[in-house]
Chain A
Amino acid sequence: MIASVLDGIVLGLQFGLLAAGLTLVYGLGGVLNLAYGQMAVISAMATLFAIDAGVPALPAVGIGLAVGVVLGLVFDRTILRPIYRIQGEARVLLSLLLTLGVAFIVDGYLTWRYPTEGLTLRIGGGPIEILGVPMRRGSIVASAITLVALGALFAFFRGTTLGRAVRSVIEDEEGARLVGIDPQRMLRIILALSGLLAALVAVTQSMVRPVTVSAGFGITVFALIVTVVGGLGSVTGAMLAGIILGIVNNIAASYIGTFLSLIILLGAAAVTILIRPSGLLGVRE
């Protein structure tokens, strides 16, 4: 039981970090990025190719992260241009459709070209004991990195001027403009950040289990569920929801089975939407 919970926390931290990227972009720009999972996959593939080309593990990971950032910026420059011209609900819808199109393009190409590829980062060394449960070293390292990343994220948003500026755009876009903050520029930064987060999660996930080329849509669905439950626009909410859902997922999976445990997750998301549409800590419209 404890093993399930611990595994769940490991999974949950990843969920949370992943969802953070998605929720920030929505909270800031009103854009729902359904190609998010594919961004993670591309970054994982970049790391894989780098390693295959002989680059040592750490720099290869760096390349993967850099690719993630670039993807975010490219997104801003290309697909999102037509979306920026619209406001409100229509913007979310159009972003949904266009990013879905991109997701199909990327997914279709990758699964056709590299159907069997997957990134796995093997972390050497034996299991580490936590609370009497032997945990794989890969899981521990992945969780440690995730926690550090979350800490950095937190520090950024609370402690730096830029981070506060980003938050202010989520809080009140017009108010932000009135103090001289450019929402477009902030969105660009956040998109780069979300690309980075997607890449980071892909890379750390690969320490626990292989990240395959076809994992894209599954990643997006999980990110979406956690985002919705945590509340669109709230990073803390995403984290909280991630951990809770990670634990729920694991406990359910060990007792009921993978398909039905996914239904429980989906059910949790549905219930949250129905009872509290703004999620656990979401931004109220």
Chain B
Amino acid sequence: MTERFTEATGTSLIGGTEQRASRSLLALLLPIALIGAVLALVPLWLGDSRVQMGVAVVGLAFACYTIGFNLIFGSTGQLFLCVGALAGIGGYGGAILADTVGLPVIVSIVAATLAASLVGGLLSWIAVRRSLGVIFTGIITLIFALAFENLLLGLGGVSGGESGFPISSGADSFLRRQIPPYYVMLGLVLVFLLAHGLLRRSHVGWAFRALRDDEVAAELAGVDVARYRVYAALIGAAMLGMAGATYAFTEGRISPTTFGFAQVDVVVIVMLAFGGIGTLFGPILGAITFTAIDEVLIEFGQLRVLVYGILIILLFLWIPRGVIPTLQALFRRRRRL
């Protein structure tokens, strides 16, 4: 799909360029450390307001979601429209295991992460086995997302239904305080970035790039497309689940809208498209930008949805590749001159 888009329009939907200049680990660690350092300073600025810190934590959670989605869609072209649902498996799974079943918080998070990972892997496996193209993968995962949301609403006894699930486990731990959750989520973001970065440099990353650019050629070159797709889904979904679970415990209360399609998936897609699908740092850029924009839009109330609509259209018409690849292209042109 992506090659045809490229042929027809001269641009590419997925634009991550590989750093051919330096394959050293430092080239990966340095930017991540830098980002970590800068973001670590945020509480100095916003730390006084519980509300603002809450927004920041949400922003980081979305950064995690976007990294996970980037891994699944950006790396292997699988359009998973169930990002919210997979995070929700993590969130609700963790909450139910901790509160209802009584497991320790850490164990609950790990178990929920595994559950999300397996579901993601299963979805990918199904899509691969049935040779579902991008569109049908999207539709199937969308169906899953909607079904999951309705499951949460319908099984009120287990999930708390529409009113939500107040999580009592970990209520007195550091996770519910004002500042520590921020650093916990930031830790996750950095770990995910590192994981993605390392993956890209490994033979797995090479396989991802090969199958994303030309599936047939990749198969001929010996890449087991099916297997790598499922790997990407397993890892990406694990990230989503872990982020969802961790976020749930820091929030203390989750509801179906915390992980809904309109609330999560749409935003994640916009964030990733803005930053640059397939790039390493695109998700971070997108998450920061749109968390900030969202804060501004709070004033508008319902009109936020309208503004999002306008943004989606402008984004996909003007900078379909995303900010980072567009900048990279500009940079290359400047260098040539």
Contact = CB atoms under 8 A, between A and B. Distances in A.
Direct contact between A and B in the complex (CB less than 8 angstroms)?
yes
Contacts of A79: 313
Interface in B290-305: 301-305
Classify the secondary structure of A's interface with B.
helix
A183 to B, nearest CB: 16
A131 interface: no
A89 B1 CA distance: 6
Contact of B134 (A89, A106, A109, A277): A89
B319 interface: no
Contacts of A175: none
Contacts of B4: 86-90
A82 B150 contact: no
A112 B306 CA distance: 9
- Interface size range on B against A: 35 or more
A270 B317 CA distance: 31
B128 interface: no
A108 B138 contact: no
B306 A104 contact: yes
Contacts of A101: 308-313, 316
A260 B302 contact: no
Interface string A204-225: 0000000000000100010011
B335 to A, nearest CB: 29
Contact of A273 (B134, B139, B154, B308): B139
B198 interface: no
Contacts of B262: 217
Interface stretch (A149-157, A160-168, A261-269): A261-269
Interface string B221-265: 000000000000000000000000000000000000000001000
Contacts of B183: none
B266 interface: yes
Contacts of A281: none
A228 B316 contact: no
Contacts of B269: 97
B132 interface: yes
A280 B308 CA distance: 36
Given A90-B13, A111-B302, A273-B132, A98 B317 contact: yes
A266 B150 contact: yes
Interface in A88-132: 88-90, 92-94, 96-98, 100-109, 111-112, 115
B97 interface: no
Contacts of A97: 269, 312, 316
A274 interface: yes
Given A104-B305, A263-B151, A270-B143, A90 B1 contact: yes
Contacts of A257: 154
A108 B126 contact: no
Contacts of B187: none
A86 B150 contact: no
Nearest to B303: A112
B57 to A, nearest CB: 25
A145 B255 CA distance: 41
Contacts of B311: 101
Interface of A: 32, 79, 82, 85-90, 92-94, 96-98, 100-109, 111-112, 115, 217, 221, 224-225, 228, 257-260, 262-263, 266-267, 269-270, 273-274, 277
Given A221-B146, A263-B150, 20 more contacts: A86-B8, A88-B1, A89-B133, A92-B135, A94-B316, A96-B138, A98-B312, A101-B308, A101-B310, A101-B312, A104-B306, A105-B306, A107-B305, A108-B309, A109-B306, A112-B301, A259-B153, A259-B154, A262-B147, A263-B151
15 contacts: A32-B135, A90-B4, A90-B5, A90-B13, A97-B312, A108-B309, A109-B306, A112-B306, A115-B302, A217-B262, A228-B139, A258-B154, A262-B150, A269-B143, A273-B143
- Nearest first, the 3 closest Cβ-Cβ pairs linking A and B are A104-B309, A108-B306, A108-B305
